[in-house]
Amino acid sequence: MSKPHATKTRDPEETVQRERYTVVELAINSMARVSLFAGSRWTQLDRDRLIAEAKRSTGLSDAGDDRYLQGLDRILSESRGRYRPLGTALLRNLLLKALENRLRAVDYIKRHPDVLQIQIQRPIFVLGFPRSGTTLLQNLLATSPDRAPLEFWELMSVTPVREGDLEADKATRVKALARILRLADLFVPELKSIKESNPHTPEEDWQLLVPSFHALTFELAYALEDYGRWLQSEADMAWAYGELKQRLQIILHQRPRQQLVLKCPDHLWFIDALLAVFPDSCIVQTHRDPVSCIASYTSMIALQERVLTGRIQWKALAQRLTHLFLAGAHRAHAARLRHDAGRFFDVPFEDLTRDPEGTVRRILDYFHIAAPCTRSVRTELTKPRADSPGSHRYSTQRLGIDPEATRDKFRWYTDTYAADTQAVA
């Protein structure tokens, strides 16, 4: 067993210090390696075994439209041998849970066919580069009884575990997610100061695309670049967004909302598919200095890389994300030219942070939506958060990127959408 490198640090001001496994993680990885050599199912990325196990654990057999297999097969093929045994076991668990969620959603719709008649009227979608203020804006837009986000506990599994008893079902699902989050905190304790999460926080709805195995998170967080290229060039994302809609309908069947406020940076890459399925969407796009977004997100996603591979390769990670962000900006711009400009509202990060109340008011006025009272917005702004401004510390130096050269690549984007965006070194 190699020696742990837990003491290796960088700038003491930065949030992410540790770059390799701790002694505990090395021990768990060793156990996972033994499981791998022994042929244990916990580290086997085999499609048929995964599907069989999901069917056995749920007691269900119908997984619906088999187009999900296209994405699943690509994920499995590209991920084999890519991660340490611990990382492979964690990915396998994610895929297994996604298959179980898929089976349960198909079963729920078969038992409740009226679900598909539920209208999702004028949903608000907040999108933009990761770390560009989408979380803050979603929270502020949802400060009204008429509008609501989706909470983490209901995104993790859209179907009830105790059907017919809403309160007991919620309590059970909240408790289960809390256990998962406590475990995650052991591996990535830094995350809470970067992005606060608990069972009740509004979260990103990319989780509703995972059971379709058509989700950009597999490139963003798992570095499956071939899969990402397929997703952006060949995959039927309108089909995937249609399945996302069905999962939203299942959630609303249990707990109706008048208007959903959804948030996910991933939608930036797939605006055409989103509008094909939700043609009356109100799309709010946030804009922040790309270098700041890349540096912040690299710091955040590096925690995932550390768990999956046992080490952080800062320069390669920053280069990959720079390329992906640039592709997202081009794809979003091209998509916006194909659609009614009235569907979109642009929010520079500086406007949001300088005048959050006014920004919310302007957005809602633009889409002719009733505004929340000023007091409710101010209450949201004063809530204590572990990820409050300044809690996440990062820099561009360790990433090996040239800030000005990177900004030059995005110059067309900032000139078009965020001319007032302030550069951060």
For residue 400, the domain's CATH number is: 3.40.50.300
Residue 7 in domain: no
> 3-state DSSP call for residue 147?
strand
Q: How far is CA 401 from CA 20, 74, 318, 388, 397, in A?
A: 22, 30, 7, 26, 7
Residue 282 in domain: yes
Residue 301 in domain: yes
Residue 424 in domain: no
Residue 18 in domain: no
> 3-state DSSP call for residue 396?
coil
Q: Domain count for the chain, please give it.
A: 1
DSSP conformation class of 419: T
Quickly tell me which residue has 């059907």 as its tokens. Answer: 163
CA distance 416 to 407: 13
Residue 4 in domain: no
Residue 13 in domain: no
CA distance 107 to 65: 13
pLDDT for res 146? 85
Residue 381 pLDDT grade (very low, low, confident, very high; cuts 50, 70, 90) = confident
> 3-state DSSP call for residue 325?
helix
Q: Which of 156, 28, 48, 180 is nearest to 89 (CA)?
A: 28
Residue 419 pLDDT grade (very low, low, confident, very high; cuts 50, 70, 90) = low
Model pTM?
A: 0.92
Q: Which of 389, 186, 163 is nearest to 292 (CA)?
A: 389
Residue 271 in domain: yes
DSSP conformation class of 221: T
Full residue range of the structural domain in which residue 339 is found:
23-417
Return mean pLDDT, the chain: 92
Task: Write out pLDDT tens, residues 238-249.
Answer: 999 999 999 999
For the chain, the residue count is 425
CA distance 231 to 2: 37
CA distance 88 to 29: 10
Q: Which of 336, 315, 329 is nearest to 411 (CA)?
A: 329
